[in-house]
Amino acid sequence: MLDIENLSASYGEAQVLRGVSMSAGKGEVVTLCGRNGAGKTTLLRCVMGLLPYTGRVSLDGNDLARKASYQRARLGVGWVPDDRGTYATLTVAESLSLRVSKDGWPLQRVYDAFPNLYARRASAATKLSGGEQQMLALARVLRMGSRLMLCDEPTEGLSPLLVEQVGAILRQAKEHGVTVLLVEQNLHFAATVADKYYLLAEGEVRPTTPDDKELLTYLGV
């Protein structure tokens, strides 16, 4: 499904990622752990085509090197950004109709899964609570019928009830064969959805497990 090989990326002089290689199979939830500033968001942005990189990112064996971010999105890559990506000038309903795919969730299914979004469908997205904004960001990607979801800390700042709801949505997506690359600092949450773990530190990545002592020490858990 997703294969990242020897990926390196820099911000000007500062090299953030060095030869990162990792993979995620169909229907797998792969969690990427690491401290703040380790380069987790940078990696997701590279996969989305929002940052230049060297190395190879491929989806189902097809190299995405020459694909712009909108083309990657159309190929099935969905981005749930860390700031939740809300539009101040769009209502909830408009946000959910920006990009719709026949493989994506119908609007009614989204509203059934997220009743709050239905209740607030005419509100500006920025008027929603943090949890509702997160649901909107997830719902938007589900509407697109993405096969690969890049979720950047989707539980950050959410109440335990909402964290549970995010988990349920990710598990539901996974059951339908959607692959999730999850950047997450909340290991307890990650353990409820993840199949594989990677630790990103000093710009390099290595496989890990949630009970890896080195990982726990590194994250200060």
Partner 1 sequence: MAQHIFNGLVGGSFLALVALGLAVIFGMLRVVNFAHGAIYMLGAFLALSMPSFWWALILVPLVLAAGGMVLERTLVHRLAKLDPLYNFLLTFGLTLIFQDLVKWRFGVQSTPYPTPGGLTGSVDFGAFDFPAYRVFVLAMAALICFGVWFLLSRTRVGLIVRASTERPELTQALGINVGRWVTPVFGFGCALAGLAGVLAAPMRAVHPLMGADLIIVVFAVVVIGGLGSIFGSVAAAFVIGVLQALSEAYLDSALVSQILVYLVMAVVLLWRPSGLFGREESPA
Binding residues for partner 1, rule: CB under 8 A, are 45, 48-50, 68-70, 72-74, 79, 81, 83, 85, 87-90, 94, 97-99, 126, 140, 144
Shortest Å, Cβ 99 to partner 1:
4
Q: List, in sequence order, every residue forming a beta bridge with 5; answer none if it has no partner.
A: 56
Count Cβ atoms below 10 Å from residue 51 Cβ, excluding itself: 18
Question: Residue 114 carries which DSSP code?
Answer: -
* Euclidean distance between CA atoms 70 and 181, whole angstroms: 18
* CB-nearer residue toward partner 1: 114 or 197: 114
Q: Is residue 193 classed exposed, middle or buried when 0-12, 13-18 and 19+ CB atoms within 10 A define those classes?
A: buried
Shortest Å, Cβ 205 to partner 1:
20
Half-sphere exposure of 215 (CA within 13 A, CB side): 19
* CB-nearer residue toward partner 1: 17 or 215: 17
* CB-nearer residue toward partner 1: 74 or 206: 74
Shortest Å, Cβ 161 to partner 1:
26
Q: Compute and round to an integer the Cα radius of gyration of the chain.
A: 17
Shortest Å, Cβ 48 to partner 1:
5
Shortest Å, Cβ 56 to partner 1:
20
* Euclidean distance between CA atoms 57 and 74, whole angstroms: 16
Shortest Å, Cβ 71 to partner 1:
8
Tokens of 34: 């690491």
* CB-nearer residue toward partner 1: 2 or 215: 2
Q: By C-alpha distance, which of 68, 85, 66, 88 is closest to 77?
A: 68
Q: List, in sequence order, every residue forming a beta bridge with 181; answer none if it has no partner.
A: 30, 150
* CB-nearer residue toward partner 1: 45 or 120: 45
* CB-nearer residue toward partner 1: 94 or 156: 94
